[in-house]
Amino acid sequence: MRRTLLTLAVCGALLSSTAAAGAAPEPPAGRLFPYGGHARQNITVYGDKGPALMIVHGGYWSKDTDWSGWARWFAARGFTVYDTDYRLTSDAVWPAQRDDVLAAVRWVRRREGGERPLVLGSSAGGHLALQAGAYGAGHTRVRGVVALSPVASPRRAWRDGAKREASAERRELRRAAERLAGCVPDRGVRRCEDRWADLSVASHASGADDAPLLLLHSAGDFVPPAHSAELAAAQRRAGLTDVTVRTLPGSAHGGPLLKTPGTASEILRWLRKRP
């Protein structure tokens, strides 16, 4: 399990780096619960009051990444935080990862008496968070989605990773998308093409039936803002009006975007305004 408590030193550094969002006492340690039978189908809960906020970690759909620090940070600011794990590509191919996040949403809603959670996802986890907000009638499932550097189009990532000038991160993301799909696109195999289409969040855009969106990238992000711009355009065409896309300075990716001055505060305000 990747769940370990942060040391006081790490917590102190994290809280000081986000002092602009306001100081708050630390919540109790997280409590681990299973939402399914697989070893990775578990949720760590931080805090016990306030709106439900699910966090979906990134890591190329193939790695665990530690979000316990930020989970505690949001819990200290009035949320009940559900730090969510899911099966990785070493365990199963798509759509197992989306299935797990949707199962986790159902588990959270049962625990919350039917209340729809907010969802925050990073990178590959941003892709899964966006799927939760768009697949079917997403707004009946979640109240809103914040996505940091989301891989909204794995196919775009696969193509970008093949370019001569592609960075090591983009090449790794190309390989990760291929592992996620379990097949190589553009070869005319119908089942494979259907799976790649299903991976694209924009293919599920249904406008007002979907959750409100706050989409953030940095200008130099190796998952470029075009991912979110394409999704936002598709959702607006379908009739979703509550969509915000922000491009931040620098080249931070995923969770480190929260350390960009003012960003954590902006996200808190956005989350607190979702009906």
% residues pLDDT > 70 (the chain): 90
Torsion angles phi and psi, residue 120, rounded to 5? -125, 125
Question: Given a cut of 60, is residue 214 above it in pLDDT?
Answer: yes
Q: Mean pLDDT in the chain?
A: 92
The residue written with tokens 């065409």 in the block is 237
pLDDT, residue 17, reads: 38
Tens digit of each residue's pLDDT (9 = 90 or more) over 66-109: 999 999 999 999 999 999 999 999 999 999 999 999 999 999 99
Sheet holding 213-218, edge to edge: 31-34, 42-46, 80-84, 52-56, 118-122, 144-148, 213-218, 243-248
Query: Residue 7 above 90 pLDDT?
Result: no
Residue 157 pLDDT more than 80? yes
Tell me the pLDDT band of 187, cut-offs 50, 70 and 90.
confident
What architecture (CATH level 2) is domain 24-272? 3-Layer(aba) Sandwich (3.40)
Closest by CA position to 129, among listed 180, 55, 40: 55
At residue 275, the pLDDT reads 76
For residues 182-209, give the mean pLDDT.
94
Within a 10 A sphere around the Cβ of 218, how many other Cβ atoms?
24
Q: Residue 112: which region, alpha, beta or left (left: phi > 0; alpha: psi -120 to 50)?
A: alpha
Region label for 30, one of left (φ > 0), alpha (ψ between -120 and 50) or beta (otherwise)? beta
Which region among 27-36, 121-130, 154-163, 258-267 has the lowest average model confidence (pLDDT)?
A: 27-36
Q: Residue 234: CB partners within 8 Å, gap ≥ 6? A: 202, 205
Tracing tokens 């049962």 back to the chain, one arrives at 110
Decide if 119 contacts 145 (C-beta within 8 A): yes
Which tokens in the block code for residue 43? 């949720």
Structure tokens at 202: 């924009």
Q: Tell me the backbone φ, ψ of residue 148, rounded to 5 degrees.
A: -100, 115
H-assigned helices in 56-189: 68-75, 96-111, 124-134, 154-160, 168-181
The percentage of residues in the chain with a pLDDT greater than 90, rounded to a whole number, is 87
Q: Choose between 95 and 49: higher pLDDT.
A: 95
- Domain boundary assignment for the chain: 24-272
Quote the pLDDT of residue 61.
98
Residue type, 78: G
